[in-house]
Amino acid sequence: MSNKIQTLSGYIHEYAKSVQNPDLFWSRVADSFFWQKRWDKVVEWNFDDPDVKWFTNAKLNITENILERHLFIMGDKPAIIWEPNDPEEASRTITYSELHKMVCQFANTMKAQGIQKGDRVIIYMPMVPEAAVAMLACARIGAVHSVVFAGFSATSLADRINDCEAKMVLTADGNFRGTKKIPVKAVVDEALEKTTTIEKTIVLKRTGLDVTMQEGRDIWWHEAIEGVSTENKAEIMDSEDMLFILYTSGSTGQPKGVVHTCGGYMVYTNYTFQNVFQYSQGDVYWCSADIGWITGHSYIVYGPLLAGATTVMFEGVPTYPDPGRFWAICDKHKVNQFYTAPTAIRALQAYGTEPIGPYKLDTLKVIGSVGEPINEEAWHWYHDHVGKGKCPIVDTWWQTETGGMMISPIAGVTPTKPSYATLPLPGIQLAILDNDGKELTGNSVEGNLCIKYPWPAMIRTTYGDHKRCQQTYFSSFKGYYFTGDGVKRDEDGYYRILGRVDDVINVSGHRMGTAEVENAINEHPKVVESAVVGYPHDIKGQGIYAYVICDMEGRSEENLTSEIRQSVTKIIGPIAKPDKIQIVSGLPKTRSGKIMRRILRKIATKEVSNMGDTSTLLNPEIVEEIMEGAK
């Protein structure tokens, strides 16, 4: 049974049904899966505790819905196409039946090494197919996986191991990233000096780097799986059993473990994947993210494989061996749907259109963006040069906590608008609230983005600390999930995300969103990107400190900063004029493209003695440079 929406009137109809009778709507979507036992109730919930359960008492295993469900019809179909870091190395194609054998064999291997249902397993690996196999093998035996991006520091890794009391780490000797070989196993060794719960480490040979193997604890992957059976019966899980924990950096710097469960997550990631990308059997889909963050979980591994799709995994970086690499891969593997981050798009935009020149990109049908709102200039560049003006852009808004896409165009169905995430997906009941918690109805309003009804893939708790979950997401506005983002609903009812609302500066009693000031700064033709934070000001209470990336050609810094101030005064008013403007070459960002304002605030307030762990950033070296410039 297809749950695919194909027309705008179809979307309007489906959306209305999903709001009028959510139980009926989601039970119909869930009917297309294989359940060992059907649910007693579709959903039970309250947002006060919070306590949310989907498909109560249903029994399933998510990997049976990826593997067994597809074996008979598409056993020979490519499940994963792997493209290595070095274009000279051969790519690998793994069919659904091969994936089934690999997952079953590794599931048996982990059991043989003492892992049981409910145990936590850390995956700290490069972007290789074995990383996806590891995730699915955990799910197969009911172990809870927690993937940690293999660029994070030993401290970050140790924090996560300790928080979830993991028993096993799955890793590799090293990682290829552009011209670099990163010693992954050495980081694990250092992390394990600060932990006590790890019993075994399984190490994949990838780079051939010399590593230290501790007897009794460390075992090579190829040796561990040798002679192990490729037959395995999947563990029967409850719909609300934990599937995985994914750590997201909290505003305090202490990571919080977002918990997702089996049943609802399965139903939602598959439904959103098929609809947003308009995936058809035979298409080749590629998301350029890393499995270390939620996009990789939901839209490289689970969503696409549940749909029986062919999903591309890429080990390298967009600029190696040259800035045409993404487009070379699209042509090589005849990619139909391509999903990447605005950060990557802007980085490639800086090289101009020349690197795109040699490539046809004629198989592309849909292009998407994820991680942060895409600015208008990057949207047009992506649409015109990558999509050749014919591919709809799905600008998706969602979070680690939401598990799947929440506001997004449906490709070719929803009319798009640059820098707008457009409309909520079926089942997603949005509310815009003012600061007093009053819902703002109608169009042309802006306020706090909240959600008033549960959806299947939503966060259930923060691991080991339910109170933190309640306080972070459910305490700001009673009866609502608060996303932490500001949003505008325009005259057409379209949604535009305005950035985090906790980034608010109080200047002389006027509350101002940093996003608003940044947008005004970014209007200047020479500004590439900016980030604004507040800092203590003797007179105003808080002053505005702007970090700005500029094209300096033919301009002096003095002239440029003065023009930026004039521009902000003109757009917002003199109250929003930045007190300090620091020209920088880059901004500290997370791997998903979010600017780490916490770090910028510390630099602005000269509290640089404790910067916290910066190794989890995309560009940790930029922090030193900004600190130097601030002096």
Containing 486, the helix (H) or strand (E) segment is: strand 481-489
pLDDT tens across 131-149, in order? 999 999 999 999 999 999 8
Per-residue pLDDT, 250: 52
More confident residue, 87 or 371: 87
**Residue 249: pLDDT over 70:** no
pLDDT digits (tens, 9 = 90+) for 515-528: 778 888 998 999 99
Domain count, the chain: 2
Q: Rounded to whole angstroms, how far apart are CA atoms 300 and 631?
A: 43
pLDDT at 506: 66
Residue 545: name the closest of 530, 524, 558, 555 by CA. 530
Which residues constitute the domain of residue 165? 95-238
CATH of the domain at 577: 3.30.300.30
In the predicted model, what is the mean pLDDT of residues 350-370?
A: 95
Question: Residue 324: CA atoms inside 13 Å, Cβ hemisphere, count?
Answer: 13
Domain limit, last residue, from 219, 238, 257: 238
Residues in the chain, how many? 631
* pLDDT above 70 coverage of the chain, percent: 97
Inter-axis angle of helices 154-164 and 184-192, nearest 10: 50
pLDDT for 43 beyond 70:
yes
Residue at 141 is within a domain: yes
Q: What is the mean pLDDT of residues 49-59?
A: 97
CA 626 to chain centre: 26
Of 209, 238, 267, the position where a domain reaches its end is 238
Contact residues for 538 (Cβ-Cβ < 8 A; gap 6+) = none
pTM: 0.85
Give 259 or 608, the one with higher predicted confidence. Answer: 259
Tens of pLDDT, residue by residue over 446-486, are 999 999 999 999 999 999 999 999 998 999 999 999 998 89
Q: What is the 3-state secondary structure (H, E, C) of 24-52?
A: HHHHHHHCCCCCCECCCEEEEEECCCCEE
Residue 155 has pLDDT above 90, yes or no: no
Cα distance between residue 339 and residue 367, in whole Å: 6
Which pairs with CB-CB distance under 8 Å and at least 24 residues apart come from 535-539? 535/580, 535/601, 535/604, 535/605, 536/605, 537/507, 537/579, 539/508
Is 211 among the domain residues?
A: yes
Q: What pairs with residue 589 in β-bridges?
A: 595
**238, 262, 282 — which closes off a domain?**
238
Residue type, 174: G
- Assess contact for 309 and 336: CB atoms under 8 A: no
User: Rounded to an integer, what distance in angstroms lies between the CA atom of residue 298 and that of residue 459?
Assistant: 13
Summary mean pLDDT of the chain: 92
Q: Residue 261 — φ and ψ, nearest 5°? A: -115, 170
β-bridge mates for residue 45, sequence order: 52
pLDDT band at 86 (very low <50, low <70, confident <90, very high): very high
| For range 604-613, the mean pLDDT | 82
Give the per-residue pLDDT at 264: 98
**Within a domain: 121:** yes
Lowest mean pLDDT among 73-82, 248-257, 326-335, 401-410: 248-257
Place of tokens 């521009």: 567
Please report whether residue 461 resides in a domain: no
Bond into 50 cis (ω within 30):
yes
Taking residues 366-394, what's their average pLDDT?
93
Task: Output the pLDDT for position 251.
Answer: 47
| 195 occurs within a structural domain | yes
Domain containing 162 — which CATH number? 3.40.50.980
- 292-315 average pLDDT score: 96
pLDDT band at 1 (very low <50, low <70, confident <90, very high): very low
Residues 391 and 364: their CA atoms lie apart, in Å, by 7
pLDDT for 509 beyond 80: no
The arithmetic mean of pLDDT across residues 18-25, rounded, is 97
* More confident call, 500 vs 226: 226
Domain assignment present for 135: yes
Q: What percent of the chain has pLDDT over 90?
A: 77
pLDDT, tens digit (0-9, with 9 covering 90-100), for 210-225: 999 999 999 999 999 9
Residue 567 belongs to a domain = yes
Categorise residue 426: left if φ over 0, alpha if ψ from -120 to 50, beta otherwise.
beta
Structural domain contains residue 597: yes
Q: Which of 68-72, 510-514, 559-563 comes out lowest in average pLDDT? A: 510-514
Q: What is the pLDDT of residue 228?
A: 97
Note the pLDDT tens digit of each residue in 429-443.
999 998 889 999 999
